[in-house]
Amino acid sequence: MATTQKSSGKTNRRIQTVAIANRGEVAVRVIHACRELGIRTVLLHSEADIGTRAYRMADTRVCIGPAPTAESYLHIERNIKGALAAGADAIHPGFGFLSENADFAKAVIDAGMIFVGPKPESILAVGDKIAAKKTVSAARAPSVPGYMGEDQRIETLVEEAARIGFPVIVKAAAGGGGRGMKVIRSRSEAPELIASAQREGLAAFGSAVVFLEKYLDRAKHIEFQIFGDSFGEVSYLFERECSVQRRHQKIIEEALSPSLTPELRRAMGETAVRLAQSANYEGAGTVEFLLQDGEFYFLEMNTRLQVEHPVTEMVLGVDLVKAQILNAAREFQVWPQESLKAHGHSIECRVYAENPYAGGIPSTGKLLGMEWPEGPGRRFETGFEAGDEITPFYDPMIAKVIVWDETRLRAIKKMKQTLRDSLVLGVHTNIPFVISMLSHPEFVDGSMTTQFVGRHYTQENGIGLEARERTDLELAFEKAAGKVSLTGGVAAAGSTLGSAHTTPLQIVNSPWLGERWRNV
């Protein structure tokens, strides 16, 4: 990591205690980084997250409210008060929740603390989907043709959609995480779909403002990691491909993309840097593009750490979270562009608590056991341990499995083996679905687009998964645990292993399972 040698004219700001306004695996990720930097941590958590992994790991914990996010993780004042009460001098917002909220960043600064992220003005300039489009045209970046006008009457929006030409996608301006978006394929369905995007935007994000874009129906999702330091330097840390998505939500991400030529990579990277520079951007950020027929189009900029940041870390040998914190303390100089060289290939799979044999419906309950098989080039990020509860209140992601190997094909094989050897007891997981996708010829040859999941895995055919044999590890668990009901990632369709977490589980006389299982 580059150390600070030149002077930015700004003095270093000592950070001794970081409050984490988040939960789950990203809270754990930030705690690891802080510990390595000798910084104390304060977890600002909801009542529902008492007794999660981050809760146990943090040096101090402050309960900021009940489970509903509006009363805890999305409540600006409660987060600020909690951080101040615990003596924090900085707040790391993680991703999701308040991480891209300029008012929150400002409130942190106004309260005399450091916001680990960009300046509020930068968030406003590039983080807001509509404002970003304007910054983008100033930064000479191509974006998808569309309508971003203030006239939000349904008739106007329908006319504009027809002018753009169907298919069109309508998006909630304040939306995120794939929510508040609808694809409109014809004029007749436009009024209802637009109205429903407006309703969803209002309910989920507090704003009914929508905009329209031409829908690119054979595009790849390619995003560039950028990082800006307090000296005004910005570098791009190459790209991630995240085309494997369900309902516009990413499931498998990789670095680098199998689809870019060096020339295209450089053109997209330099565009991302220009955009960041035009907003005086500091810290970690991601510029998302769609790539279709060799042309790239700006989609949005995320002004925060990204869920899939580990694949970039693996191929570049960097630590983005430590860099964020050091940069916030003004003790960091960004890696010079010419020093950045990607090595090997990295893939991340998001493991969700959901039932892949029932259209991916969420699966909640107590995590009765988890095993993540360590090995060379394998990395696991999770906010849970055996005994923790998967509640219905938050995102159902329970872990991220990340692998690195020398080539893409080896990384795919390693990921499949790693997932086969992973074990989650107590809830269903999407692991069988992910393994199936990793084996699909279109994924293996790298030609997949954002239509990949929709085209090959339909809800009607139970996403096309078939029952499979249990692995040796699963059988060993069963044997050791007596009458275990295995579910989730290891359960097969129509399996006799028990249908769900609702089956009470008794683990008896299993000496080799040891102390870790005491909560079961």
For ligand ADP, the closer CB: 26 or 216: 216
- Give the footprint of ligand ADP on this chain (CB under 6 A): 144, 169, 175-178, 213-216, 219, 221, 245, 248, 288, 290, 299-300, 450
For ligand ADP, the closer CB: 61 or 129: 129
- Give the strand pairing for 378-382 and 397-405: antiparallel
Read off the DSSP letter of residue 491.
P
For ligand ADP, the closer CB: 242 or 463: 242
Smallest distance from ligand ADP to CB 49, Å: 24
Smallest distance from ligand ADP to CB 137, Å: 16
Contacts of 287 (CB under 8 A, 6+ apart): 223, 224, 226, 271, 272, 275, 276, 298, 301
Task: Report yes or no: 427 and 390 within 8 Å, Cβ to Cβ.
Answer: yes
Q: Distances from the Cα of 129 to the Cαs of 123, 356, 434, in angstroms?
A: 10, 32, 30
Instruction: Give all strands of the β-sheet with 17-20 in edge-to-edge order.
Output: 60-65, 40-46, 17-20, 90-92, 114-115
Smallest distance from ligand ADP to CB 289, Å: 9
Task: Report yes or no: 143 and 136 within 8 Å, Cβ to Cβ.
Answer: yes
For ligand ADP, the closer CB: 84 or 183: 183
Q: Is 160 helix (H, G, I), strand (E, B) or coil?
A: helix
Task: Report yes or no: 301 and 127 within 8 Å, Cβ to Cβ.
Answer: yes
Question: Of 78, 304, 350, 408, which residue is the catalytic one?
Answer: 304
Smallest distance from ligand ADP to CB 450, Å: 4
Q: Which of 193, 175, 171 is nearest to 184 (CA)?
A: 193
Smallest distance from ligand ADP to CB 177, Å: 5
How far apart are alpha carbons 77 and 95 in whole angstroms? 18
Task: Report yes or no: 222 and 299 within 8 Å, Cβ to Cβ.
Answer: no
Clarify whether 304 is annotated catalytic: yes
For ligand ADP, the closer CB: 249 or 510: 249
Active site residues: 304
